[in-house]
Structure 1
Amino acid sequence: MVTESRAGVVPVAICVPARDEAASLPGLFAALELLDRRDVSPVLCLLLDSCEDASADVVRDYGARASLPVMVEHMVQPGANAGRARHAAMLLGLSALGGEGLLLSTDADSTPAPDWLQAMVAGARRADIVAGKVVRTVTRPNPLQDRIERYYEALHAIRRVLDPVAWEATTSHHHASGANLGLPTAAYRTLGGFLPLSHGEDARLVDDAARAGLRVRRDAASVVHTSDRRLGRVAQGLAGALRALDRDSDAIAVAHPEDVAWQYRRHAEARHAFAGGDYPSLAAAIGLTTDHVRGVARDCANAEAFAMCVVPTPPAGMRQVTLAEAEAALASMAAGRRAA
């Protein structure tokens, strides 16, 4: 849970990796100046990653007039590695906080909403890790990306019907992004930080958190706007995904909603089994032996960890279908629930 000072103020480190972002950083800095800082004491921790542009000059100019403390560190690595850079930014945040407080992660091409700090602190009081909502700033429309996001939003809504948890936000969403992520310093240390992955380090951290039994809250009240640029800093980030969709809309395949819903139902059953010790019924439902299920339970700290670790892929696998097929199947499932 989030730590407060004796005066009730929450120390927060806003951790930002930047690689040749001289053009984007002024927008971020302008947004930071507009943040509502009631009962929050923020410090900006900037990790300049192998910058060859004027990023350092832009940061220096901002630091001279910023209304919040600014810490800057430089690193050099031969190629872009999002996980390594993001972890270095978080380590700078840990140092700035003296080991206790709330670490927030965002990106240099992103702009947090004015109430971002308030929303993240409120979320961190209810959960162990807060994944806020990332909204693309649309300069070049991509209807297919919009459809994909709507599909996964609807699928996540089903998740919380089938597997409700007390710490989830009233208005939730489906994704987890390093552009809008927050967790207490103790939780970050427990997880070991972002792994040195070239991409997907943010989703991996959130997945590892759930498997470790930490409560993940996907909170749509926390909003960060991010660029929809097509030239990003890593090959397989959002920019690369948008470029791929621009080129080849027929290549999109998504998980079949019935298979995903199967897992959601089993997660709920696993939570109940862990609480009541009814492992034989769960084992039969997920196709494992009772001894195997009991063994997993012994290694799990709580019901959340157990649910995330014990539930396998569906018996027929996780089918990949076209987006149109998935949308139709999801609509059919929704109609069936309304008729029930």
Structure 2
Amino acid sequence: MIAAIVPAHNEERLIGPCLQALQSAARHPGLAGEAVAIVVALDRCSDATAAVCRRFGVHVVRVEAGCVGVARAVASEHALSLGARWIGCTDADSRVPADWLWRQVACEAGAFCGVVSVDDWLDYAPSVRQQFLLGERAQDGHPHVHGANMGFSAAAYRDSGGFLPLATGEDVALIDAIQRSGARVARLAAPQVVTSARRHARASHGFSDFLKRLERSIGDAPASSGLAVCATGTKPAGAC
């Protein structure tokens, strides 16, 4: 069995398209009918996110952590309890392509790291988009780690110790741990995941804050920096 996990905090507006895309990926012919479980970790949700999940008939686990690292860990453990051999990881404001799960499994690695694209640049200046495209190297062997587009085998996840309870950087920490365990990490240009450029961040120092820092580095807006943790571990606010 294969699983896809999604952490969500008050995502009633965007999680529908996310789940629709995941269900399409679950039906890809390359998977040859293998069962796919979609697991959403509802983290302190006070809106209708749960109702949207019920309409799609996906697995739901509830978390009261306010921490994306904890949410991903709880969702991953639930997926493992269902018997998942591979877990794809994305975000509630993102949409995966139809071949997303199939290509991840087909890479035959301990983990997969993909790249992201943005289709709703909102009020960001063209210079921000251009700078992002320069940095987001969409080629095999790229250095990026995005929680919106990654995956890992059950064995690699267990051997690495799993997601740490970090408010940010839990994705990078997991991939680093998987590499240290000796498993191969496939860093591929495809499949790409479409994600949001929304300004209101759900996770502190995540992709939304990264884009705002990029904007400040180009213009003259005031900059900020810091560290973000839930329990243990830190990640520089400038990391992405």
Q: TM-score, normalised by structure 2?
A: 0.82
Which among 87, 99, 108 is matched to residue 73 of structure 2? 87
Conserved in 1, the CA contact under 8 Å of 2:116 and 2:148? yes
**Structure 1 residue 30: Cα displacement:** 2.0
Deviation per CA, 1:19-41: give whole Å up to 9, x if none: 10000111112212322432232
For 1:130, the aligned partner's letter is F
Which among 73, 76, 89 is matched to residue 64 of structure 2? 76
For 1:133, the aligned partner's letter is V
Residue matched to 2:28: 37
Deviation per CA, 1:269-319: give whole Å up to 9, x if none: xxxxxxxxxxxxxxxxxxxxxxxxxxxxxxxxxxxxxxxxxxxxxxxxxxx
Residue matched to 1:312: none
Deviation per CA, 1:74-121: give whole Å up to 9, x if none: 1112xx311111111111111122xx5111111111110011122111
Does structure 1 residue 191 correspond to structure 2 residue 182? no
Secondary structure at the counterpart of residue 110 of structure 1: coil
Does structure 1 residue 49 correspond to structure 2 residue 43? yes
Which among 162, 179, 182 is matched to residue 213 of structure 1? 182
How many aligned residue pairs are there? 215
**Structure 1 residue 145: Cα displacement:** 5.2
Does structure 1 residue 201 correspond to structure 2 residue 170? yes
Conserved in 2, the CA contact under 8 Å of 1:102 and 1:183? yes
Secondary structure at the counterpart of residue 182 of structure 1: strand
Which among 98, 107, 110 is matched to residue 128 of structure 1? 110
Residue matched to 2:230: none
For 1:230, the aligned partner's letter is R
Conserved in 2, the CA contact under 8 Å of 1:135 and 1:225? yes
For 1:31, the aligned partner's letter is A
Secondary structure at the counterpart of residue 193 of structure 2: strand
For 2:198, the aligned partner's letter is R
Which among 151, 158, 173 is matched to residue 182 of structure 1? 151
**Structure 1 residue 181: Cα displacement:** 1.1
Residue matched to 2:128: 144
Conserved in 2, the CA contact under 8 Å of 1:145 and 1:245? no
Divergent runs of 4+, >4 A:
none
Larger radius of gyration: 1
Q: Report the CA distance shift for 1:148/1:243 in structure 2 as closer, same or farther (over 3 A).
A: closer
Counterpart Cα distance in 2 of 1:179 and 1:104: 9
Residue matched to 1:102: 86
For 1:243, the aligned partner's letter is K
For 1:61, the aligned partner's letter is R
Residue matched to 1:272: none
- Indicate the structure whose relative CO is greater, using CA pairs within 8 Å and at least 6 residues apart: 2
5+ residue gaps, structure 2, are 221-240
Matches within 5 A, 1:16-27: 16-27=6-17
Matches within 5 A, 1:127-276: 127-140=109-122, 141-142=124-125, 143-144=127-128, 146-151=130-135, 153=137, 171-249=140-218
Q: Report the CA distance shift for 1:147/1:30 in structure 2 as closer, same or farther (over 3 A).
A: same
Which among 52, 56, 59 is matched to residue 58 of structure 1? 52
